[in-house]
A and B are shown apart, each in its own frame.
Chain A
Amino acid sequence: MRIRLAVNGRAQDLEVASHALLLDVLRDVLDLKGAKRSCDTQVCGACTVLVDGLAVSACTYLAVEADGRSVLTVEGLADGESLDPLQRAFLDAGAVQCGFCTSGMLLTARALLRENGAPTRDDVLHYLRGSLCRCTGYRKIVDAVLTAAETAR
């Protein structure tokens, strides 16, 4: 099937199978490897990308559903060499360890801050329930999201 979508601000015109998953199209067709495959069941959040600003699990989202929409992946977060406040905050706070969850965490946090520019710690905890990290114990991730929210205000 033919789909037209914007990925990280760039128009894409793609021929995809009707059952193709957005994650596979991003990783294998567009060579955007930042979104990661892990649980395949919408639990871990490693594959999270934004579709029209909303966080979705690309591992279970059909590519054809993205037709006519705008997709943001971690590769599109920074503005050229200038990092998004979330990326900056994750680096500074030590919120990154192995990095496998990082793309999904960043995009989930981006969706949160789009909805709520001044989240409380509980808001962040609630929002991150769909994003697993096995390395950090989460504290530094939550701190980073709160810091980024402050920076952006």
Chain B
Amino acid sequence: MSARPLRVVGHPAPRVDGLEKVTGRARYVTDLVLPGMAHAKVLRSPYAHARVTRVDVARARVRPGVFTALSSADLTWCEPYFGPAFRDRPVLAIDVARHEGEPVAAVAAVDEATAAEALELIDVDYEPLPSAITLEEALGPGAPLVHTGEPLSGHFADLSTLRPQPGTNVCHRFHFERGDTVTALAGADLVVEDTYRFPPVQHVALEPHAVLAAWDETGALTLWASTQNPYSVRVELAKMFGLPLARIRVIVPHLGGGFGSKTYAKLEPLAAALARAAGRPVRLAASVPEAFQTVRRCAARVGTRVGFRRDGTLVAVECAADYDVGAYADIGPRVVQKATYTATGPYRVPHVKLDARAVYTNTTPGGAFRGFGVPQLAWALESLFDVAADRLDRDPVDLRRQNFLAHGEEFAPGDTPIDGKLEESLGRAAEAIGWTRAGAADRGRGVAAMLKASVAPSVSEAIVRLHTDGSVSVLASAVEMGQGTRTVLAQIAAEVLSVPLARVTVVQPDTAVTPYDQTTSSSRSTAMTGRAVQVAAEDVREQLVRVVAEALGVAARDLALEDGAVVAPARRLTYAEVLVLRFGMSGGELIGRGVIAPGRTAAPLGGSTPFWEMAVGAAEVSVDEETGAVRVERYVSVADVGRAINPLLLEGQDEGGVVQGLGHTLLEEMLYADGHLLNGTLLAYRVPRADDAPPALECRFVENADGSGPFGAKGAGEGSLIPVSPAVANALARLTGVRFRDLPLTPERVWRALRARGR
């Protein structure tokens, strides 16, 4: 069959779940009700670090309306620890509470009010312990140890090399080097170096974490969970309860935002334990303050040193990064090693030495958050690039262009060659922001670039079913959390099978029904799950063609799919007719299967990234010298996506990424004092509002169909966020002459720096 113009892919189709969302009919976990359902509340540690010497739930348990009250002492019938990297996180605190807000006891009752009242009947004795809140406190001599024992390893092969440092708070170290940075830096004409800091920030998905758990009469467990990883949650629960995977069912309704906060098990183990003890379904819905106590982005301190030759050639990068992963590792160790692996950004660097540590502190566990550790490192490297450009008297755009990795060039031995054209993204971003035109005197412009790997190796499977009326079901476990994956998967199936988008239904993820998908994160769904759907749909297409070829006695190459029919030289058979030919009646269905499993490779992290995510950001800013308030007047993001399966949704992803990036750039920081989080509510923690977004915001795409995903697509959605901080700070430096190393660029911080400059 010859290539033909794309009919569905590449078009800005409105999202397939849009109607249910604008009419209020879309169902999220907390919209679901089961008969007899109980409501849970969690008693949390008020201390950053404390020995828990007594938990007495007896009075709560006998309160009318209470079905169960649990402390860790009650969890003798299950494995009480979980965690994807280390199984270091107790379902309920065991002997020690390691961060403020750690669950210590929990209640399930007839309603939330009764459950909340019952919490007040639980007696807990704490003996406060010295705590380590900051990286400095956790790494200093004689630092209080967050964990004193050796944790059990989690369930990921790529993390089998985790290296905790006994007797310290370092739970993982990552080291990578090639060449000889010492000699290279000694011989460099210019070395720029500095230490940059990135604050702890929270995802603030508008829907906080929620789970509804129910055990059935056969002893099987079903959860409706706001998770980005139903299959990882299933593994955790199977281990916890000693159940076969097949007896655990994780169903994922719509998510009210994810951004990484809903990767890996969070509240699911506790909800499942409560439901088992209560003997009835239990809903556990976190509040916004509880979400702040559940997961956050890993804060970081990044020391980077970059060497250049006089002609601008980058010769060496050294980077030493400490990431604060909080009280439990969650997926922090992978965040640290995967991000640090690409600490050199999208540049050709012959001599590299990278060291990173994942450091426990007595704060909310740090985990995945859009960008997965890369924003912290790009903040340092891309700022230093502009420092170097200044010192070399070079244009920052030219200096980047000179050092970009080329299309097809090796990033590291054994890993995927560079699959995009960075110079094209940079050129378009520079042009759109008017880089070479004179700007207004009160505006500054800055650029920044990024490169990020996707998780590897990983597995996605999909099933496509063609029904007797010619409609199509897509079974895949990529989670719809707003990014539009249901629409994109439907478009891919519709394209391959030549049916209108409206004829395709994407089934909600359900581990009992939809096949394995490793995770909805790492910008991987379009490329990996999408490719699995494409292969599954092609499997159905081949079956259609085979049936008709055999029935009509024509060659398969003379058949084509067109508008829901198989077209032969002299005949046209609708899919309904083809299925009658196949089954001898109007019944049965064609089932196609797609498996994408690239497996392990010789790449440094054990798997080759399925694509490189690459993007460039360009900012134009102004600053109010009286107040220090920075305003991003214009912002341009250009991402190299291979092909935009749905340009409308993709644009929405990247616009959202830019504004989320402006959050940690200008506004957001979780502030701790004496071990207590001061601003863990939306009253005190300011995320961007509509009037904080840049008045002019353009998100554009480079499309050369050079990705490994369906129709040449690559992953997208994280790339636009990552350059925001350095692009804004570079613009601010060019405007004011002041270089910032700490985020966020709050008015106070900027005002003080401008005063110190002496203006």
A interface list, Cβ under 8 A from B:
27, 32-41, 43-44, 46, 73-75, 77-78, 83, 87, 90-92, 94, 96-103, 106, 124-126, 128-129, 131-142
The verdict on B587 contacting chain A, using a C-beta distance below 8 Å, is no
Partner of B23, one of A38, A40, A43, A87: A87
Can you add 9 more A-B contacts, CB < 8 Å, to A98-B207, A136-B652?
A: A34-B25, A39-B681, A91-B14, A91-B19, A94-B15, A100-B257, A102-B22, A137-B656, A140-B652
- Does B683 contact A43, Cβ atoms closer than 8 Å? yes
- Does A94 contact B652, Cβ atoms closer than 8 Å? yes
The verdict on B702 contacting chain A, using a C-beta distance below 8 Å, is no
The verdict on B1 contacting chain A, using a C-beta distance below 8 Å, is no
| Min distance, Cβ A29 to any Cβ of chain B, angstroms | 12
Q: Say whether chain A's binding surface is mostly helix, strand, loop, or mixed.
A: loop
| Min distance, Cβ B508 to any Cβ of chain A, angstroms | 14
Contacts of A132 in B (CB 8 A): 204, 206, 682, 687, 689
- Does B206 contact A134, Cβ atoms closer than 8 Å? yes
- Does A137 contact B22, Cβ atoms closer than 8 Å? no
Interface size class of B (residues with CB under 8 A): 35 or more
How would residues 164 to 187 of chain B score, 1 for a CB under 8 Å from any chain A CB and 0 otherwise?
000000000000000000000000
Partner of A140, one of B203, B481, B483, B655: B655
The verdict on B117 contacting chain A, using a C-beta distance below 8 Å, is no
| Min distance, Cβ B23 to any Cβ of chain A, angstroms | 6
Which 6 residue pairs of A and B lie closest in terms of their CB atoms, listed nearest first?
Answer: A34-B24, A98-B482, A100-B256, A99-B21, A97-B482, A137-B659
The verdict on B31 contacting chain A, using a C-beta distance below 8 Å, is yes
The 22 listed contacts between A and B (C-beta, < 8 Å) are: A33-B24, A39-B288, A41-B681, A43-B682, A90-B22, A94-B648, A96-B22, A97-B653, A98-B205, A98-B256, A98-B481, A98-B482, A99-B20, A102-B22, A132-B682, A132-B689, A134-B660, A136-B656, A137-B658, A137-B693, A138-B693, A142-B690
* Nearest neighbor of A124 in chain B, beta-carbon distance: B690
Give bound CA distance, A133 to B682, whole Å. 12
Contacts of A73 in B (CB 8 A): 24
The verdict on B691 contacting chain A, using a C-beta distance below 8 Å, is yes
Contacts of A96 in B (CB 8 A): 15, 18, 21-22
**CB contact under 8 A between A138 and B659, given known A74-B24, A128-B689:** yes
- Does B687 contact A134, Cβ atoms closer than 8 Å? yes
| Min distance, Cβ B105 to any Cβ of chain A, angstroms | 22
| Min distance, Cβ B725 to any Cβ of chain A, angstroms | 16
- Does B15 contact A98, Cβ atoms closer than 8 Å? no
- Does A83 contact B22, Cβ atoms closer than 8 Å? yes
Give bound CA distance, A117 to B166, whole Å. 66
Give bound CA distance, A91 to B170, whole Å. 48
* Nearest neighbor of B111 in chain A, beta-carbon distance: A28
Give bound CA distance, A41 to B691, whole Å. 20
* Nearest neighbor of A74 in chain B, beta-carbon distance: B24
| Min distance, Cβ A51 to any Cβ of chain B, angstroms | 17
- Does B288 contact A135, Cβ atoms closer than 8 Å? no
Contacts of A136 in B (CB 8 A): 652, 655-656, 659
| Min distance, Cβ A48 to any Cβ of chain B, angstroms | 12
| Min distance, Cβ B53 to any Cβ of chain A, angstroms | 33
Give bound CA distance, A101 to B655, whole Å. 16
| Min distance, Cβ B694 to any Cβ of chain A, angstroms | 9
Contacts of B649 in A (CB 8 A): 94
**CB contact under 8 A between A33 and B27, given known A132-B682, A134-B259:** yes
Interface centre among B12, B19, B682 (most CB of A within 10 A): B682
B229-288 residues at the A interface, CB under 8 angstroms: 254-259, 285, 287-288
Partner of A36, one of B203, B207, B693: B207
Contacts of A101 in B (CB 8 A): 206
Contacts of B658 in A (CB 8 A): 137
* Nearest neighbor of B635 in chain A, beta-carbon distance: A137
- Does A137 contact B254, Cβ atoms closer than 8 Å? no
- Does A98 contact B254, Cβ atoms closer than 8 Å? yes
* Nearest neighbor of B689 in chain A, beta-carbon distance: A129
